[in-house]
Amino acid sequence: MSLLSLPPSWRGVTPVSFPPPLSPPPTGDNLPAVQPSPITPVNSPPTDVPNVTPATGPEPLSPVGRRGVAPSVEPPSNSLELEQEFQKWSGQIVRRPDGLPVLDPTSPTGYLMSPFSDLSDVAAAGRGLRPEIEYLIGISPLPAAEYAYFTLRPYLGHGGTFDYQRRAYSFGKDGLTQLRQFRNVSNFNVGLLGQQANLSLDPLLLATALYAAATGSPVFRVDQPYFLDPQTRELIEQGYRIGESGVYDSGRRP
């Protein structure tokens, strides 16, 4: 084969040993379309290929984050870093259903701070307890307080639904994270929920004192009215008075 007999695009390329063509090579610049050669099926694997051990590589990637699915950015459960961030969080200003903020002179902001600005759920839970509380009307404060102690405990006790001062965390003391910045709103919730449940203020305060004594809380004070430290009692009374105003009777803020 001469150099001139090669197609123009090949000229200037050092010839190499090519396998014999299946048909005479075309000449000229107008080459016909190349027809693919039929594939001859192989019935048995080749015997002259050496066995090669595949190179060890990394484990296959997890499907998370692939095929258009974004990887999870939620912190892992029981994350110490997350709990520490909660402990530093100042929360939100509590606002009544009419939009007014709740004052708290002991707060750095001057307002009652909470993980949740709207406490309508607290009031609604209290209204749901009214059938259980109704028969206490007219009973002396101490028996009423004993009943209220057990009725309200799942809502307002340590780690209860509306105990915003504590957050469930299995590695914390007693399985909780202390969020002391929300102590005041937790006591406010006691007054609001108790009032919405139609519980009189006296048995509500005594029930709180019974619980404080049973748990060894420092808010239990034998030298104070209702055996509660003044700040705790005042916040309970504040929540109770705002509940009495009727502002929460219409339910959740629009």
pLDDT digits 0-9 by tens, 163-199: 998 886 556 666 667 788 999 999 999 999 999 999 9
Looking at residues 227-238, what average pLDDT do you find? 97
pLDDT digits 0-9 by tens, 40-85: 454 554 555 455 454 454 454 444 444 444 444 455 556 777 656 7
Instruction: Find, among 197, 198, 207, the residue nearest to 233 by Cα.
Output: 207
Containing 187, the helix (H) or strand (E) segment is helix 183-196
Tokens of 34: 């190349």
The whole-model pTM stands at 0.65
Above 60 in pLDDT, residue 128? yes
Instruction: Give the number of other CB atoms < 10 A from CB of residue 207.
Output: 27
CA distance 162 to 193: 9
Query: CB of 190 within 8 A of CB of 156?
Result: yes
The DSSP secondary-structure symbol of 166 reads E
Query: For residue 123, what pLDDT band results from cuts at 50, 70 and 90?
Result: very high
CA distance 132 to 135: 7
Rounded to 10 deg, the angle between the 201-215 and 230-244 helix axes is 140
Predicted confidence at residue 250, as pLDDT, reads 67
CA distance 177 to 165: 8
Tell me how far apart the 2 most distant CA atoms of the chain are, in Å: 121
